[in-house]
Amino acid sequence: MIPLACIPGALPAAIRAEHFARIAQLFGGLVKERRSMTDGYDYRFDSAAFDAVVRFVANERACCPFLSFALRIAADAGPIWLAVTGPAGTQSLLDAELR
């Protein structure tokens, strides 16, 4: 089992600043809905957020290897759903990091 621990140095400083700005953008304003799951959350975004969501996932995979991601993209420019799941304690971590 992969421990519930982030790797702070996984992203270079320039990318890290951009990544945190993207988190603030996505989860501070662009997220339309959040659904609780037993091991994480499912987040809904408009289709226009696709590029930002994909970049977020690419970076998070490097610094938080314990997280799993599932992206569902609806047809005809419908919503994007991003499931972020992990081991016990993941919801608490997401509550603290993705406000």
For residue 45, the model assigns a pLDDT of 98
pLDDT digits (tens, 9 = 90+) for 9-29: 899 988 999 999 999 999 999
Total domains in the chain come to: 1
Query: Could you tell me if residue 6 is inside a domain?
Result: no
**CA separation for the pair 67, 62 (Å, rounded):** 10
For residue 90, the model assigns a pLDDT of 92
For residue 1, the model assigns a pLDDT of 66
Mean pLDDT calculated for residue range 66-93: 95
**CA separation for the pair 43, 58 (Å, rounded):** 16
Query: Could you tell me if residue 34 is inside a domain?
Result: yes
Mean pLDDT calculated for residue range 37-52: 97
Question: In the structure encoding, which two tokens stand for residue 65, read together?
Answer: 């290897």
Q: Which domain holds residue 81?
A: 12-97
**CA separation for the pair 57, 52 (Å, rounded):** 9
Mean pLDDT calculated for residue range 43-65: 95
